[in-house]
Amino acid sequence: MVVSSPQWLCFSVPQFRDSVRPSFRQPIHGRIRSKLGALGKRPDLLPEIRQGLLEAGAAVAWEDTVAILSDVAGIESEEAELALAKALEWRAWAICSSAMMRKYMKPKMPDAEAVQGALTWLSEGPLALDGDAIRDAVLNHPEAYLVDPEKAYGMALACAPDKYKDPSDFRARLLNDSSVLGCTFNCAEDGCASECGNCWVSYGMR
C-alpha cells in the first residue's frame, strides 16, 4: 500500500499505526461498554494535547467544546477531552513521538459550534438518538459522531446493503452497533479502494 504523506513513519510502527489510522470496526456489546470505552484509556496524553492546543492558539476553543460535549452527552470532562482528542486527531498527534512527523500531521481545530450542531443533529435528525445512545456513540466512535455525522449518515445509507437501505432498518442496526455510521464505503458496489476499515463488506465479515 502506498501512503501519500510522510505519516508512513508512524504507520510502520505498531504502537502508532492503529492510533494514527482511524477505524470504526469495533463491535459494541451492551450500552456503554466501559468507562472511556474505545478511547484507549490514555488520560496520560491529555497534558501534551492541551499544550499542543495552547501552542496552536486553540486552548479556549478546546475548553468551550469540551464543556458542550460534556454537558450534552452527560460524560465527565476528561471523557469529553479524550473523545474530542480522538475525533479531531489530537490523540494520534500526541502518540506520535517524532517531532518531525508531527510537523506533517494536521489535527483539526476544536469548534464548539460544529460539535453542538453535530450533537443536535444526532438527537433531532433522522437517527433521533436518546441520551444513552449519544453517550455510547461518543465514547466508542467519536470520529464518526462528532465530525459531520450528517454527512457520514448520508454516505453510509447510500452504500448500505439492501437489508439496511431503509432508514428505519439502518437506525435499528445502529442502535445495536453504533460503528455502522462509519461504514461509508461498499467495495461490493465500487470495487476495493483500501477502505476496509470503513467498508460494509468488511463489516459483514466480522
Cα separations (Å) of 164 from 133, 140, 153, 157, 160? 19, 21, 12, 7, 6
Q: Measure the CA–CA gap between 142 and 24, rounded to whole angstroms.
A: 10
- Model confidence pLDDT, tens digit, residues 114-133: 999 999 999 999 999 999 99
Single pTM value for the model: 0.77
Residue 10's pLDDT band (cuts 50, 70, 90)? very low
For residue 58, pLDDT over 70 is answered with: yes
Q: How far apart are CA 41 and CA 78, in angstroms?
A: 10
pLDDT digits (tens, 9 = 90+) for 73-116: 999 999 999 999 999 999 999 999 888 898 899 999 999 999 99
CB atoms within 10 A of CB 124: 10
